[in-house]
A and B are shown apart, each in its own frame.
Chain A
């Protein structure tokens, strides 16, 4: 079945540091890929998405490129802020997942001033 694997966390960075959170997936066909963010005590918010190979999703300085050859969708940001502290989830939809989202385990990001 479909699955998503995220890098082990937690990740702790200083403000203005470069961020990479790795995400790889296993799926049949051509899934859509998503990054969701969850702030403390809240539900999930869509951060960005890509629906086909080589697409780049971007939002609020975050970027991720859909790489079919490496089955990856790594999240990057050039300069993190304290306000980016949250849990980040990589997810896919499609393949054998008709419309449901299959999530990774999440990566906790803490940014210090």
Chain B
């Protein structure tokens, strides 16, 4: 069984640019969540997708957007990058979207904005 994968592993961008991060969910999982983890902090919820629809959003501005595809893989897009967007971006998938369900995390994409 393949776990959650993310690409790229590392990325360097400059302020004002746009970035797309990708996530492949674990086989059979229809729910994908994205988190931002700043250095030395716990992950913060960005949004969740369930069957291609956004299912909830954290306290992030609209320049953070996402997609989920029919195969349940997902993208996170960030426009107009700011220095504070530098962080580890984690994707997590789960079998169902209940509070009891375990979310399985990928290794993350480390984004540096200069």
Which residues in A have some Cβ–Cβ distance to B below 8 Å? 4, 31-32, 34, 36, 42-46, 49, 51, 89, 91, 93-95, 97-106
Chain B residues near A95 (CB-CB < 8 A): 99
Check if A89 sits within 8 Å of B42, measured CB to CB.
yes
Of B13-21, B62-70, B72-80, B101-109, which stretch is located at the interface? B101-109
Q: Which of A43, A45, A46 has the most CB of B within 10 A?
A: A43
Given the interface pairs A44-B43, A89-B42, the reply to whether A101 lies near B55 with Cβ below 8 Å is no
Tell me the bound Cα distance from A8 to B100 in angstroms.
27
Q: Which of B44, B103, B106 has the most CB of A within 10 A?
A: B103
Chain A residues near B58 (CB-CB < 8 A): 100
What secondary structure prevails in chain B residues at the interface with A? loop
What secondary structure prevails in chain A residues at the interface with B? strand
Tell me the bound Cα distance from A99 to B55 in angstroms.
9
Check if B105 sits within 8 Å of A99, measured CB to CB.
no
Closest to B43 in A: A103
Chain B residues near A93 (CB-CB < 8 A): 99-101, 103
Check if B31 sits within 8 Å of A99, measured CB to CB.
yes
Check if A99 sits within 8 Å of B107, measured CB to CB.
no
Check if A42 sits within 8 Å of B107, measured CB to CB.
yes
Given the interface pairs A44-B90, A44-B105, the reply to whether A100 lies near B56 with Cβ below 8 Å is yes
Is B41 engaged at the interface, CB distance under 8 Å to the other chain? yes
Q: How far is the CB of B41 from chain A (nearest CB, A)?
A: 6
Tell me the bound Cα distance from A74 to B83 in angstroms.
35
Residue in B42, B101, B105, B106 whose beta carbon sits within 8 Å of that of A105 in the complex: B42
Check if A98 sits within 8 Å of B105, measured CB to CB.
no
Check if B99 sits within 8 Å of A32, measured CB to CB.
yes
Contact residues of B between 24 and 41, Cβ < 8 Å to A: 31, 33, 35, 40-41
